[in-house]
Structure 1
Amino acid sequence: MKSRLLNSLLAVLLLAQITPCQSPSKARNKPVQQTATVPLETRIRNVENGLLPAVLVKGDSGWSIQDRMKHYKAPAVSIAVINNFKVEWAKAYGVKDIETNEPAATDTLFQAGSISKPVAAMVALKKVAEGKISLEENINDKLVSWKLPDNEFTARKKVTLAHLLSHTGGLTVHGFPGYAPGERIPTLPQVLDGAPPTNTAPVRVDFEPGTKFRYSGGGVTIAQLAIMDIEKKPYPQIGSETVLGPLKMTNSTYAQPLPDEIRPKAASGHRPNGKPVNGKIHIYPEMAAAGLWTTPSDLAKFAIEVQLSLAGRSNKVLSKEMIAKMVTPFIPDSAAGLGFFVEKHGSTTYFGHNGADEGFRATLLVHKEKGYGAVIMVNSDNDQIMAEILRSVANEYQWDEYLPKPNAVVSVDTAKLDEYTGRFLVSPDRVLTVTREGGKVFGEPTLSPRFELLPISETGFIRRDQDVSYIFLRGAGGKFESIQIRFEGRASIASRMAPDAKIPYEKLAAGQISEAIEAYRTIKKQKPANAAVEEERFNSIGYSFLEEKKFEEAIAILKLNAELYPSSSNVYDSLGEAYMIKGDKELAVANYKKSLDLDPHNENAINMIKKLTQ
């Protein structure tokens, strides 16, 4: 089964597969020092034409939002900018659906993904304020329709509402992929037990509550059920009565599936290639964790209420003291409060949340004390454009300490550029290929897009799209023999490879299948925890070959995956799919049956066996 990307907080890996940034245009030469007298139209135009990469370079200005939407194949972007505790402006770009071409508007609904969680946290905290539940009591004391199974971890400490809202309850299940229209929708007890037709694992406690942070949409779903059991009402009604209504979030609902009368106002989700997701939108019974339909303007109203409450200027839902719990880390060494994540930029504190549903991405970030921030939503799995827009807003409105200092790029003698070129071994199955085009140098990691390497010294280079530096190191003969790669305080060495050397992936791609498979076995034996031989990576490589119709290569790597990870249901599901696509029904059914033996709840395997044996 092809793995799906779930909700926020996905770790950025060294040399991860990130869409490369092209050089920004030269339309604006310097960041603009703004004053209150700048016309609003000018500010909007500056934001629209000032999208910035992760790493800033002196002399660069910004891309246009239209160019970046085209670059990322994002059909629509919707923005709300907060200034002086108000929505200063909101604007939508593009189309709701790539097939209908209906224009997006500021009242077009998008799926908020995990930004559903802080709104749901406010709902839960309101019930605390009303005395209907305590933050510190055993959550099982409030659950009626389902109980969280006790074990050795809950014997030491019970799971509480505070644990659930701060992701410190020791709960499993990071996020949810949702259900396409036409698929059976599970009840919340089924979701929490991982019972059919649920497509995620059971939600259980696997470390002592309150001891550490681990993101869990499963935990927030338990909180949803507890609130429903207390109120004895559908969750969309509770959300509307408690938060959405009082804050006049008139274009927001937790209704799942989206009612027919509202669907025309909503966007459709799209994949990274720009094509619609299966069924246009997914359905999320896990409403508190991932089910909110809303707009940037409505989420801005929500964020402004939190800002004003922290300033002691509003209490439409909660008191200042209760709101403070939402933006105060619950345990040391965690950025998670009861709903929001806190970001420190120098001495400045921001709070916010990101969201990811199938075909949708969203981000909300605001200053904790000053009344500014922004909300951005897109109907695409490509979320990089949101960070670029956020930096443009921060630049235009001069947000405190948000943007990094720009780097100065130096000139390198073009006659020496060839000295940097070559292939450097980053890991046992990953090569950084450095090439030259004219007066520029580029890097291209295995299975990732290439990017420009910008010189900041004779030996040091950076890239715009990610905060990674590359230091070229000379060997005894004076030639560049290795690269030191620095990322998030860590450093690794990539050594120059012999011209004819190949990593296992390159052997596999070249049709040297047996050699490649044996090389992977050797890596697994010598470095069993290396990322090169992870189950997920093999699965991804297998599907990439399937898409190229290289069936022999795809099946070989997926068979190896099953050999190395025999207890995984997913590896046999993927192998079954590969045989099915190739046209070998017998082997497809055999592998789907193995997958089902390991996971009797695998709905995909059940359906495929039925389809293939009819």
Structure 2
Amino acid sequence: MQLLTTLRLLTVFIYIFITTRATFAQTKAEKIDALVRQYVSNRQFNGSILVADKGKVILKKGYGMANMEWNIPNTASTKFRLGSITKQFTSMLIMQLVEQGKLKLDGKITDYLPDYPKATGSKITIHHLLTHTSGIPSYTSFPKFFETMSRDPYTPDAFVKKFSDLPLEFEPGSRFSYDNSGYFLLGVIIEKVTGKPYADVLKEAIFDPLAMKDTGYDLAGPIISKRASGYEKRSEGYVNAPYLDMSIPYAAGSLYSTVEDLYHWDQALYTDKLLADSASKTTMYTPFLNHYAYGWGVGNIAVGQLKDSLLLIEHSGGINGFNTLISRIPADKRLVVLLNNTGGAPLSAIRKNILSILYNQPVEPSKKPIAELLRKSVLTESADVSRQKFKIWRGGKAYSLDESEMNTVGYELMSDGKLNEAMTVLALNAEAFPASSNVYDSRGEAYMKLGNKAAAIQDYKKSVELDPKNTNGYIKLKELGVAVAVPNDVLTTADTTTLQTYVGTYQLAPTFSIAITRESDHLYGQATGQPRFELFSESKNKFYLKVVEAKITFVTNEQGGVDQLILHQNGQDMPGKRVR
């Protein structure tokens, strides 16, 4: 009798233990799902996610649309372009060939590509290419790359000639500069050594052994089931992403995959299925410069208020209409995969919050951008109603107000010819940020377009009063016939010499840089994997963009040279060191 009672109690205990454990895991999944749905409702995520905890999948789900024109939803099996996540697969192929004795990490480019210029190819190693330390200029940073090159098909050998004769930006191994050209070359070397196309080697060496049936080289021609379309976000909705010929990203960014396949990839990296030698694995994950290893960023991160930092191995990707992120915490076999097909999603912030949930830390939830709500309001309701709603939104904790986002909406409305609606937005922005020079500069432009010269002059005067270095304000006042003294240190549109000092490449993260170029008296910025946009002068060293919510400040050193920029976007100030 006592034994029976004991068994019953044990059964109840086991049931409670299993139920409690399942509920705990489900609670984490539910929290993550609620978090992501909040980003989706705020138009900050549209894609698929997978989260694994201690090697086990606790959430895999699609959000939003894979194809907006046919209302086809994203699912866990939707295929997305990966962008630079491709690089970790390229580096794996290289390490496999090293294990097979077909390549050497200290081997030179010319050892495998005899026709490559010996002046540079004889001193650049495979290791340099893998770690972005070769000094070869990255082809995606070429002036007008997206306008003049990205739509045309190339063979790998033909495209290499686009950058192989260029001088190096620095001595190989001495500096880090994110370089798609280097990984393109690795693909060509793989083909030369194996005698097979890069896509075939990937399939035979990685995809087939791991049963990654939903991963491959994303060419436009083949019919690929469940392939997501790429979009770019606008205030009023979305537009189709510009075409990119996928022969261009090649071994630097050509693959497509699903969150499920990337989970299989993650799990295989803990085994000997792909690399048998433990030393090879150690080498692959050992960071060189700027925390970059072989196709992975490797470093410690803090999660919430945890006492100890965690080793994070991750890589992001960005390609027309898509941005992606795969993040691994090896110590706890935790994995976060985020694949987005509307470009520009704040994936690092989402990943940060997901890790906070996994480690039972506080979360910083997404907030609804007031600028987008206001845009919808001014297009469908009276100015008075929009003002009333704006006041309510500003007082709510679930909403975020950003000056740059408001400014962008105002300019988009102006470009669409909706001047009265634009004026409502820009006027509210000026009321919300009365100490900002830029809000008056922008509203002044709207007044000019509306033909209200007196109001425009008043706003531009206020703008230069708040910021005496606001170049655009002086230019507009001159156009309006107002004589005003311009400080000697203020940049004018004719000062191309000063603009030229800003030209270069600035690295903000291991996988993210901004290339600054100049054409006559116009300055342009192009971020990794993004189109080029014009920068408009706000002062001698401060510029703003009209098509995205961002500003750029160039920082000079004691010698007067420009050695970094600061990107102001999404409420963050992100410094970027000049690397070229």
TM-score range, shorter chain: 0.5 to 0.7
Query: Per-residue deviation at 1:362?
Result: 0.3
Q: 1:186 corresponds to which residue?
A: 154
Cα RMSD between the aligned structures?
4.2
* SS of residue paired to 2:523: helix
Change (3 A) 1:291 1:509: farther
Given the alignment, which residue of 59, 66, 70 partners 2:40? 66
Change (3 A) 1:446 1:365: closer
Contact 2:232 2:239 in 1 (8 A): yes
Contact 2:150 2:248 in 1 (8 A): no
Change (3 A) 1:481 1:206: closer
Q: 1:276 corresponds to which residue?
A: 240
Whether 1:45 and 2:30 are equivalent positions in the alignment is yes
Given the alignment, which residue of 492, 495, 517 partners 1:520? 492
Q: 1:106 corresponds to which residue?
A: 76
Query: Per-residue deviation at 1:324?
Result: 1.7
Given the alignment, which residue of 293, 300, 312 partners 1:350? 312
Residue by residue, what CA displacement relative to the aligned partner does 1:132-172 show, whole Å, maximum 9, x if unpaired? 1111111211125x414424xx67xx111111111111121
Query: Per-residue deviation at 1:210?
Result: 1.4
Change (3 A) 1:95 1:439: closer
Given the alignment, which residue of 340, 350, 361 partners 1:378? 340
Whether 1:359 and 2:329 are equivalent positions in the alignment is no
Contact 2:50 2:57 in 1 (8 A): yes
* Structural mapping, 1:456-495, within 5 Å: none
* SS of residue paired to 1:219: helix
Q: 1:82 corresponds to which residue?
A: 52
Q: Which amino acid aligns with 1:344?
A: N
Residue by residue, what CA displacement relative to the aligned partner does 1:223-256 show, whole Å, maximum 9, x if unpaired? 110110111111111001111122221110025x
Change (3 A) 1:336 1:182: closer
Contact 2:320 2:343 in 1 (8 A): yes
Residue by residue, what CA displacement relative to the aligned partner does 1:155-197 show, whole Å, maximum 9, x if unpaired? 7xx1111111111111211648779999530111222221xxx
Question: Which structure shows the bigger proportion of residues in strand conformation?
Answer: 2
Query: Per-residue deviation at 1:365?
Result: 0.9
Contact 1:243 1:317 in 2 (8 A): no
Question: Which structure shows the bigger proportion of residues in helix conformation?
Answer: 2
Q: 1:147 corresponds to which residue?
A: 116
Change (3 A) 1:159 1:245: same
Contact 1:178 1:358 in 2 (8 A): no
Distance in 1 between residues matched to 2:498 and 2:167, nearest whole Å = 33
Q: Which amino acid aligns with 2:207?
A: L
Q: 1:326 corresponds to which residue?
A: 284
Q: 1:535 corresponds to which residue?
A: 518
Q: 1:465 corresponds to which residue?
A: none
Q: 1:591 corresponds to which residue?
A: none
Contact 1:352 1:363 in 2 (8 A): yes
Instruction: Identify unmatched segments of 5+ residues in structure 1.
Output: 1-34, 52-62, 195-199, 407-435, 451-479, 483-494, 546-553, 555-614
* SS of residue paired to 2:175: coil
Q: 2:296 corresponds to which residue?
A: 340
Q: 1:248 corresponds to which residue?
A: 211
Q: Which amino acid aligns with 2:152?
A: R
Residue by residue, what CA displacement relative to the aligned partner does 1:559-587 show, whole Å, maximum 9, x if unpaired? xxxxxxxxxxxxxxxxxxxxxxxxxxxxx
Distance in 2 between residues matched to 1:542 and 1:329, nearest whole Å = 33
Distance in 2 between residues matched to 1:124 and 1:342, nearest whole Å = 18
Distance in 2 between residues matched to 1:299 and 1:243, nearest whole Å = 12
Residue by residue, what CA displacement relative to the aligned partner does 1:2-38 show, whole Å, maximum 9, x if unpaired? xxxxxxxxxxxxxxxxxxxxxxxxxxxxxxxxx8443
* SS of residue paired to 2:252: helix
Distance in 1 between residues matched to 2:98 and 2:477, nearest whole Å = 62
Query: Per-residue deviation at 1:303?
Result: 2.3
Query: Per-residue deviation at 1:442?
Result: 6.2
State how many pairs are aligned: 404
Q: 2:416 corresponds to which residue?
A: none
Change (3 A) 1:358 1:496: closer
* SS of residue paired to 1:330: coil
Whether 1:222 and 2:222 are equivalent positions in the alignment is no
Given the alignment, which residue of 164, 167, 171 partners 2:129? 164
Distance in 2 between residues matched to 1:438 and 1:396, nearest whole Å = 28
Q: Which amino acid aligns with 1:397?
A: L
Distance in 1 between residues matched to 2:34 and 2:133, nearest whole Å = 41
Distance in 2 between residues matched to 1:217 and 1:371, nearest whole Å = 29
Instruction: Identify unmatched segments of 5+ residues in structure 2.
Output: 1-19, 303-308, 366-392, 410-434, 438-461, 504-515, 526-531, 537-544, 546-580
Greater relative contact order (Cα < 8 A, sep 6+): 1
Distance in 2 between residues matched to 1:181 and 1:500, nearest whole Å = 40
Residue by residue, what CA displacement relative to the aligned partner does 1:523-550 show, whole Å, maximum 9, x if unpaired? 656786369x9638634799699xxxxx
Distance in 2 between residues matched to 1:542 and 1:239, nearest whole Å = 35
Distance in 2 between residues matched to 1:66 and 1:77, nearest whole Å = 9
Distance in 1 between residues matched to 2:66 and 2:104, nearest whole Å = 42
